[in-house]
Amino acid sequence: MTARAAMMAVRTMVIDEAVRETNAPQVVILGAGYDGRAWRMPELRDAVVLEVDHPATQELKRERVSALERVAREVRFVAVDFTKDDLDAKLAEAGHDASRPTMWIWEGVVMYLTPEEVDATLAIVARRSAPKSAIAIVYHAPGGLVLRLVGFFVRRMGEPFRSKFTKAEMRALLARHGFDAKRDEDLPEATERIAPSLVARSRKVKHMRLVTAVRQR
């Protein structure tokens, strides 16, 4: 398994763990891409999964999953162009119930947003989160050589990293929006806890962090 594959595997396992622990009736995946949880996680059999992403991405996603058997109770595709659409309104139109707990998944997106965009999105998430809602976020912390090298390549591809947060900064940001951080690990720490056999593949990816937070009020 390559280092990139190990990174993706650990990210997936940590977020799956949060989904199981929260056991919410609604799951919202921000920037869903080709996320497959609604088709592979039996724990979602009673949940409504709302996949939020760009219309063009969702069109291809629909084609690819058309032959698959869904395991979630329901999947709703929420087409959102984040450059011009109102996320709050789009979620309401799709039937997201802000009075019931929600598991929010924000994986592989935050590092491409500015701090202001991250804050604005969290404000919407907070307004639509009933008590006992939870959020799982993958974000970047200030890092060394590895982050600089990865940043160089993604910048050349036209997708530059736009935000970094220390653990304390992310905890404060979540608290400002009513979420209490319960677990915040860098990738090597998460790997040691959840997939020890992959530690050697992930030990250099200390800039990637995974945080799970719960809304208590």
Using the predicted structure, report yes or no on whether residue 145 has a pLDDT greater than 70.
no
- 108: alpha, beta or left? (left if phi > 0; alpha if psi -120 to 50): left
74-79 vs 134-140, strand pairing mode: unpaired
CB 27 within 8 A of CB 46: no
Q: What are phi and psi of 96, to 5 degrees?
A: -65, 130
Q: pLDDT tens digits for 66-114?
A: 999 999 999 999 999 887 899 999 999 999 999 999 999 999 899 999 9
Mean pLDDT of the chain: 92
Confidence of residue 143 (pLDDT cuts 50, 70, 90): confident
Structural domains for the chain = 3-24+101-215 (3.40.50.150), 34-88 (no CATH)
How far apart, in whole angstroms, are the C-alpha atoms of residue 164 and residue 174? 14
What share of the chain has pLDDT > 90, as a percent? 80
Q: What token pair was written down for 207?
A: 């800039």
Q: Give the pTM.
A: 0.93
How far apart, in whole angstroms, are the C-alpha atoms of residue 113 and residue 33? 16
CB 175 within 8 A of CB 136: no
**Sign of the dihedral defined by the CA atoms of residues 61, 79, 141, 171, in that order:** negative
